[in-house]
Structure 1
């Protein structure tokens, strides 16, 4: 990981430490329990079948803290059990560790009513979300040129109908393929060149788990993060997040 990636995650750990101290969470015996959800548990049975989780490209980890839940998409899933204070000191070098921390952070933030919409939408939710996203963009940004980082197919298809798009992804099976009239580009790219083209960035919150979120925080163009993974971090860092169909 880059030094600035570690610094950002360490900041979030310190923020969680403060919240734990303020709310006496460190004294609780209640544990964070992380488990890996099946595609059906995570997103239900949507009409389309090309979501990455359905293709086995990523998994969803869900953390439970009492009756509150938080989630994180990751390519390195696994179970975990530990106290809140363990999250504030655990290493964050691997994608698995970051997924545990991020899902746990989301669950704690949800319990403290500092974050909402931490559970992924299901069934026809992704389709509705995509339509709402297109409407929101048109209302707030007009007709911008959009750089979408993270191929969410329902979202990409809806946006490609209305806007000039460039789509970036890290999945080798997607890079170079034509999707919805747009050739998918490598997400490891010249961000300065992309920013010179784009008016608006749409970025998956999963960039928290792979560490690449830092590449988007210094951009001068507006950035909107989407999905449940970034729920807690968006609240702590003051980031704009769009996730209207989640619960």
Structure 2
């Protein structure tokens, strides 16, 4: 999957004459206001200090990617496409740069995380759109702990019809919004077996889980939607379904 993304990035850069152009990527632990603004809900992972938002700037365009290994980089596009992608930090560098370049070329949109009341508004819209399409009796699978999305689904359908997996040990085994959080490492396939439709955080591409998710979706013939800004560019290249209503 990353081979396809690399090939596409190189092709896009060559066609646009951008391989020798510099891209500036900075990553640091953003303050709550910088990252997501002022939200009523305080259990977003970004506000718990468990994730960083990596931001790439390219000719005035911004691309972002979530990671637990923030890194800094300054160089040319040709240097970015040579990164080994051996860990979450390197993959986030690559993805944030890809998102910025595709935003600059108007090949991708909604690459900047929403703030303040917008995450809550987006979660409501995601839950509403999925239920309208698949029905209130559907079993919903959510991959990655996103509290607003989980809460909004639990209010529309019974908590027993919502399954959630996560990789954070502080969440696994706990009950959140009436829903038990499964271990994402051991229950990854099970959530596909027991769900009618699935949603997954776009940061699964940085965690190197996305390819497995698409394999399970095909194996069990289950629709899967990815949400968030991290997946903005890759969703276009890989032809993935994406839900992201309030990003800019």
- Structure 1 segment 138-153 matched on structure 2, within 5 A: 138-143=131-136, 144-153=138-147
| Partner SS, residue 35 of structure 1 | strand
How far does residue 35 in structure 1 lie from its aligned partner after superposition? 2.8
2:197 — aligned with what?
200
2:223 match: 222
Equivalent residue number for residue 242 of structure 1: 243
Unmatched segments (≥5 aa) in structure 1: 1-7
Is 1:34 aligned with 2:26?
yes
Equivalences for residues 114-193 of structure 1 within 5 A: 114-143=107-136, 144-163=138-157, 164-193=161-190
Secondary structure at 2:156's aligned position in 1? coil
> Separation in 1 of the partners of 2:178 and 2:40?
21
What is the distance in 1 between the residues matched to 2:178 and 2:20? 54
Aligned partner of residue 54 in structure 1, secondary structure: helix
- The C-alpha deviation readout for 1:48-105, integer Å capped at 9, x for no partner, is 1111111111111111001100101100012111211112111100111001001111
- Residue in 2 aligned with 1:4? none
| C-alpha displacement of 1:216 | 1.2
Q: Check the 8 A contact 2:25/2:93 in 1, yes or no.
A: no
Contact 2:23 2:56 in 1 (8 A): no
Asked if structure 1 preserves the Cα contact closer than 8 Å seen for 2:162 and 2:179, the reply is yes
Q: d(CA) in 2 for partners of 1:87 and 1:10? A: 13
**TM-score where L is the length of structure 1:** 0.93
Secondary structure in 2 matching 1:26:
coil
For residues 194 and 208 of structure 1, what CA distance do their matches in structure 2 show?
Answer: 18
Whole-angstrom distance in 1 between the partners of 2:68 and 2:144: 13
Query: In the comparison of the two structures, how many residue pairs are matched?
Result: 239
**After the TM superposition, which residues 51-130 of structure 1 pair with which residues of structure 2 at under 5 Å, given as runs?**
51-130=44-123
What SS does structure 2 have at the residue aligned with 1:161? helix
Q: For the residues of structure 2 that align with 1:193 and 1:75, how far apart are their CA atoms?
A: 25
Deviation of 1:138 after TM superposition, in Å, equals: 1.7
Separation of aligned partners in 1, 2:210 and 2:49: 23
Indicate the larger mover: 116-125 or 192-201: 192-201
Tell me whether 114-123 or 47-56 shows the greater mean CA deviation.
47-56
